[in-house]
């Protein structure tokens, strides 16, 4: 039987939550696995591992992506924001995180990191103009506890606060 060649490794640099992180990974490693297994950032969850639940949602170069479907090598050099990177330097919560608390927009919490990052994107993209639009643009993030009315209320609340402060929601 012929010998199986050793798997190759690829060197990548990710700008994660404001820090450059260098990794040597198998080219088949997903971004989700690179963050969780190599960097210890476990906020993004592995829900379905098929891109159907949204628990792994992250921001890459300002756009939301499903990290379970994104190979780490494809985001080499990209700016990545995870749930761990949202709080301010003094430890204060991001306005969307605070809105989720204020509106009781989570129950078990498993989907919450992906929901929050998707909510930020929904507001940034201008898709939070109505409850129907919020539901549509958040529909890729599933909540098994069915906290949807509270999630919509949290997105609406964060949107309204940012409009009242005249400061756009950002990461």
Q: What is the pLDDT of residue 91?
A: 86
Task: Please report, for the chain, the start and end positions of each structural domain, with discontinuous segments joined by +.
Answer: 10-85, 95-165
pLDDT digits (tens, 9 = 90+) for 35-63: 999 999 999 999 999 999 999 999 999 99
Please give the CATH number for the structural domain made up of 95-165. 1.10.150.120
pLDDT digits (tens, 9 = 90+) for 74-115: 999 999 999 999 988 888 999 999 999 999 999 999 999 999
Q: Alpha-carbon distance 46 to 147, whole Å?
A: 19
Q: Which two tokens stand for residue 36?
A: 């969780």
Q: Do domains 10-85 and 95-165 have the same CATH topology?
A: no
pLDDT digits (tens, 9 = 90+) for 15-37: 999 999 999 999 999 999 999 99
The whole-chain average pLDDT of the chain stands at 93
Domain 10-85: homologous superfamily in CATH = Beta-grasp domain (3.10.20.30)
């Amino acid at each position: 039987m012929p010998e199986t060649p050793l798997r190759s490794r690829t060197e990548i640099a990710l700008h994660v939550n404001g820090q450059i992180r260098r990794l040597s990974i198998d080219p088949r490693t997903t971004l989700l696995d690179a963050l969780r297994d190599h960097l210890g950032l476990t906020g993004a969850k592995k829900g379905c591992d098929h891109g159907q639940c949204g628990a792994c949602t992250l921001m890459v170069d300002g756009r939301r992506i499903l990290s379970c479907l994104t190979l780490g090598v494809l985001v080499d050099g990209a700016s990545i924001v995870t749930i761990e990177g949202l709080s301010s330097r003094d430890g204060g919560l991001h306005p969307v995180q605070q809105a989720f608390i204020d509106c009781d927009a989570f129950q078990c919490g498993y989907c919450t990191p992906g929901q929050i990052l998707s909510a930020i994107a929904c507001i940034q993209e201008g898709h939070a103009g109505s409850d129907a639009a919020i539901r549509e643009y958040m529909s890729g993030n599933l909540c098994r506890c069915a906290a949807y009315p509270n999630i919509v209320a949290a997105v609406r609340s964060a949107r309204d606060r940012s409009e009242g402060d005249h400061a756009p929601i950002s990461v």
